[in-house]
Amino acid sequence: MTIDEAQKQVDEWINTTGVRYFNELTNMTILTEEVGELARIMSRTYGEQSFKESDKKHNLPDEMADILWVLICLANQTGVNLTEAFQKNIEKKTLRDKDRHKTNPKLR
């Protein structure tokens, strides 16, 4: 699935199953909540915290997908074409960082 297809699929789902989009501020808050849920799993899986019983029902791929879902909702609501935005972002990073990481002694 392409990013464009994902944006269309989310929009179709929202308009048929989901009734309507939550407003942008609500979706921004939901995005923050979902990032927090991912952070919790990451800190327990790769960090030094241990899992609580209530943490064990969450799974990493699903939390990442939740973040992507809400980000796509925000893009759809604000008229952002994520394919174009992502391509421009890659170009920006490539131009800006073409030598930066290669010369960083911390990455060697």
Token output for 11: 């929009």
HSE of 8, CA atoms in CB hemisphere, 13 A? 6
pLDDT at 90: 97
**Helices 60-78 and 24-45 meet at what angle, rounded to 10?**
160
pLDDT at 58: 81
Instruction: List the domain boundaries for the chain.
Output: 3-82
CA end-to-end span of the chain? 35
d(CA 48, CA 50): 7
pLDDT per residue as tens, the chain (108 positions): 999 999 999 999 999 999 999 999 999 999 999 999 999 999 999 999 998 887 778 899 999 999 999 999 999 999 999 999 999 999 999 999 988 888 999 988
Quick count: other Cβ atoms within 10 Å of Cβ 71?
18
Supply the pTM of this predicted model. 0.89
CATH number of 3-82: 1.10.287.1080
CB 7 within 8 A of CB 82: yes
